[in-house]
């Protein structure tokens, strides 16, 4: 009898360990997918200022695993004035980049200098600088 109960105890311990490991795996993968489904960033290397149209050409990356959907863009001007929802991007595919031209000179603000871009969409937000020299 003692040998049988030791085997049963070992099997039960193995089953409990496998069940706990499976539960932990499902919890971790579910949690990580929630946080990485949409990851936005301002692509500063490709962002430029168009002097002819008076606009900032803003590129936004989605480094996440799901499409971003609608993305809104806020601009903080070099003088510190912030305008929200200046422009938007209809959608950004997973792992992709999209861009839009945002109007420069809202409320009489424009000029050269460092603009701060804030993007919001798909449960993600990001900030990035845009340098405008024209």
- Judged by DSSP in three states, 52 sits in coil
Q: Rounded CA gap, 22 and 37, in Å?
A: 22
For the domain spanning 40-132, the CATH number is 2.60.40.10
pTM of the model: 0.69
Domain ranges across the chain:
1-36, 40-132
pLDDT (tens digit per residue) in 79-127: 888 999 999 999 999 889 998 888 877 877 777 778 888 999 988 899 9
């Amino acid at each position: 009898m003692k040998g049988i109960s030791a085997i049963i105890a070992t099997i039960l311990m193995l089953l409990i360990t496998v069940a706990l490991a499976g539960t932990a795996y499902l919890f971790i993968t579910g949690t990580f997918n929630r946080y990485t489904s949409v990851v936005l960033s301002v692509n500063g290397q490709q962002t430029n200022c168009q002097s002819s149209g008076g606009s900032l050409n803003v590129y936004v990356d989605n480094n996440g695993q799901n499409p971003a959907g609608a993305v809104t863009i806020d601009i903080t001007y070099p003088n510190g004035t912030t305008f929200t929802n200046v422009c938007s991007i209809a959608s950004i595919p997973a792992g992709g980049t999209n861009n839009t031209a945002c109007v420069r000179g809202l409320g009489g603000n424009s000029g050269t200098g460092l603009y701060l871009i804030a993007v919001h969409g798909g449960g993600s937000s990001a900030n990035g600088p845009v340098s405008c020299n024209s």
